[in-house]
Amino acid sequence: METQASDIHEESASNSAAIQPAEHREGLRKTGWIILLVLAVGIFIDRITFNRLLGAQWAIFVNLLLLVVFVAAKVEQRPIPWQSYLLAIPISLTAILTYFRLEPYTVMALVGFSLVGLVYLAISLLNGQWLVYRLREVIVQGLRLIGSAFIGLPIALIQSSHHEESESTQEKSKGKGWAILRGVLIAIPLLVIFGLLFSAADPIFSERIFGAFSWLRIEITDEFVAQVVLVLLFTYFGFGALWHALTKSQQPQPVEPDQPLVRPFLGMTESTIILASLIVLFGAFVLVQVRYFFGGGANISAEGYTYAEYARRGFFELVVVALFTWLVHYGLSSFTRRESRRERTTFTLLGVLLLLLTGVILVSAFQRLSLYEAAYGFTRDRLVAHIFMIFVGLALVVSIVLEATRGLKHMALSLLLGLLAFSLTLTFVNVDATIARQNLEHAMTGHPLDAAYLAGMTISEDAVPELFRYFDSGELSPELYKELGNVITCRKGRYWDRWFDNRFWASQHASRTKALELYQAHEQALDPFALTDYQDGAGFIFPDGKVICVYPPEE
C-alpha cells in the first residue's frame, strides 16, 4: 500500500511538473504568431470601419477579439476556467445587440458593458475570479492592465528572444511553421491565376469576385498614414492587453478574508455626526417635497412655477445628489471603525435611513420629470433619464441590502450586473420606438404632435416600424394622419439621401434594413405626401418648426 501510494504521489508530482510551465510561464511560446494575429485583426477592422457607415462593425470587432483571446490561450496551452467562458457570453451578446439598435444611449450602454466586460475578462482570464473581485481588485488589476498595454509588446519580444525550448520541439514547431508558410505562398498565386482566368471567361463572375473583395483594396490617400498609425497603435496596445491576459491573470487574488484595502481611520463619532447631519438635511428637503407628491400641478402653480420650470429646476442636481450620497455611504462604510456590535448596528441603521431618504428624493425627481412629460410629451433624454433613475434607485436598494448583510465586498459584481441590466433594458424597451408610440398616443388624446421632433435626425430608424404601425392602423384623425405621413416621407427622403447607397456588407444594420423594407412596401401609400422645396433644401413646415429632410448636393 505504501509503495502504491508512493507511486501515485510521484505520478501526481510528475503531472504537476508537466503542466506547471504551461500554467505559470511568464513568457509566450508563440509571440510572433500572436503579434501577426492581432495585426491581422487591426487591418481587418480598419478596412471595414474607416470612412464606412457604422452598422455591424462593433459586433464583429468584439466577437473577433473574443475569438482571438481564446485561440491565443489555446495556442499557448493556458487552461481557461468556466467562469471566463461565462463572462464571454454577455460580452458577446451586448456587442451583437448593437446591430439591432441605433439609438445612441442604448448603443453607448451596450458598448460600455462590452468594454467593461473585456477589461474584466483580461484581468481574470486564467483565474476566473471576476465573480468575487471587489472594487479594489478591479481598480488595481485594471491599472496593471493599462501598464501592460504600454510595456507588454517590448517585454514579450525580450522574453521570446530568451525563451529556450528543447531541440525536438523547436524543430517540430519550425517545420510546421514553414509548412504553413509554404502552403500559403503557393496557394496565393494559384488563386490569383485561376481567379483571373475565370474572370476573363465570365464577366458576371468577374464583377462579383472583384466587387466582393473591393473593400480589401488599399488606396494611398492623405488618410493612409493615419490608418497605418491607427492599425499599429491597435496592434501595440492590443497585444499588450492580450499578453497581460495570458501571462498576468493566472495568479489568484486573495479576496478572503475580506480585509480592508485602507485601514479604517474614522471613528463612529465622526461618522455618526456626518450621517446624522445629512439625514436632517435630506429629511427637511423631503418634507418640502411631500406636498408635490399629492398635489401635483396645483401646488406648483400656487408657488408661481410652470410645469417646465419646476421639472427642469434641479432635476439633474437631484440625480447627482443620489449618486454622491451612494459614494459617501460606500466611503464611510469602508473607512469607519465599527468594533462593537452596537456600533455596527448604529452605523447600519443610519446608513439605511440616509439611503431611504435618498430614494424618496429620487422619487421626487421622477415625479418632476413625469409632470413635464405629461405636458410636453416624451423625448429621448426624458425617457432614458426615467430608466436611469430606476436603476439608481435599485443601486441604493442593493447598497442597503449589502450594508445590512455585511456584503459590501460584492459591490463590484453588483455594479457590473447593474450595467448589464441597464443596457439590456434600454435595448428591449427600444427607446426611440417607445418615444414615437408615446407621442402618437399623446397626440391621439388631443395634444399637439411633436412632428418636427419625430421627423428630425434626433430619432433613429429604430422608430420607423412604430410610425408605420400607427400610419396603417386607421385610428388616426385625418389631420394627424397627414402629419404623420409628412413625418414618414421626410424620414424616407433622408434615408434615400444618406444611407440608401451604403450597401457595404459590414455597414448593414437591422433597423436600417427594416426601415428600407417598410419604405418600399409603402411607396404608393406615401405618394400623396410630397416634400416641399425650399432655398436650403426639401422638407416640411410643421406646426412646431421647419424640418429640412434632404439638403442640396454639395458643389
At 233-267, the pLDDT tens digits run 899 999 999 999 999 988 888 776 656 556 666 77
More confident residue, 482 or 328: 482
Q: What is the pLDDT of residues 108-121, one digit of tens each?
A: 999 999 999 999 99
Q: What are the grid coordinates assigned to 389, written together?
A: 433613475
- In the chain, domain spans: 27-177+214-247, 268-428, 432-550
What DSSP state is assigned to residue 52? S
What is the distance, to the nearest Å, from the Cα of residue 140 to the centroid of all Cα atoms in its chain? 22
pLDDT attached to residue 498: 83
pLDDT attached to residue 461: 94
Name the nearest CA neighbour of 484 among 442, 529, 434.
529
Task: Tell me, yes or no, if the pTM score tops 0.95.
Answer: no
Q: What is the mean pLDDT of the chain?
A: 79
Task: Round to whole Å and give the CA distance between 220 and 232.
Answer: 17
Name the nearest CA neighbour of 325 among 343, 350, 300.
350
Q: What is the pLDDT of residues 355-368, one digit of tens each?
A: 888 877 777 777 76
23 pLDDT band, cuts 50/70/90, is very low
Residue 550 is inside which H or E element, if any?
strand 545-550
Write a three-state SS string for 97-144. Answer: HCCCCCCHHHHHHHHHHHHHHHHHHHHHCCCCHHHCCCHHHHHHHHHH
Residue 155 is inside which H or E element, if any?
helix 135-162
Nearby residues of 311 by Cβ (< 8 Å), 6 or more positions away:
368, 369, 371, 372
pLDDT attached to residue 164: 45
**531 exposed, middle or buried (CB, 10 Å; 0-12, 13-18, 19+)?**
middle
Q: What are the grid coordinates assigned to 48, written together?
A: 471595414
> First vs last Cα of the chain: how many Å apart?
93
